Structure 1
């Protein structure tokens, strides 16, 4: 995989904005309608989601599991879920700057 660090960083930090609909829960919110035969179910999962982004994320996650430490993997995952450097720092009892430093080291491994 040959990606620029800046592109990877932008992708990971914005991945949480990828639309991930849960069609099963969306159509079953009302238990009174559970047994209705004519209850319409949305089946356009692939139309609403950016499959390429999901595939790239899965590939990156597999690489992070191989080349990264446990802490790097957790930071990768939390950042991709939309948590801030400050929030992650609180979890690991480290500074926001240290989280950025660890993430930058991981990006160097991935690039």
Structure 2
């Protein structure tokens, strides 16, 4: 709506489309910049996006996944999965197993 108010009434359709695409790109850039400015000092933002924090977070995630795999493989090797079926009728046994 704001875009249309700023345009000449005699603008060609092709030119209007080009200008609108530029307008959309600029609008998105502005929104991203405002979001960044508003949240750049917040802990969650730093944790998720800061270049110094990202490798730490990635390493933590890898360690957590490896730990979960180790636990799963231990349970598998001990035979705990032999009697567990992923089936709606076996819901309670599956919940009990996953909570172990």
> Higher helix proportion, which one?
2
Give the number of the structure with larger relative contact order, counting CA–CA contacts within 8 Å between residues 6 or more apart: 1
The normalised TM-score by structure 2 is: 0.30
TM-score by length of 1: 0.28
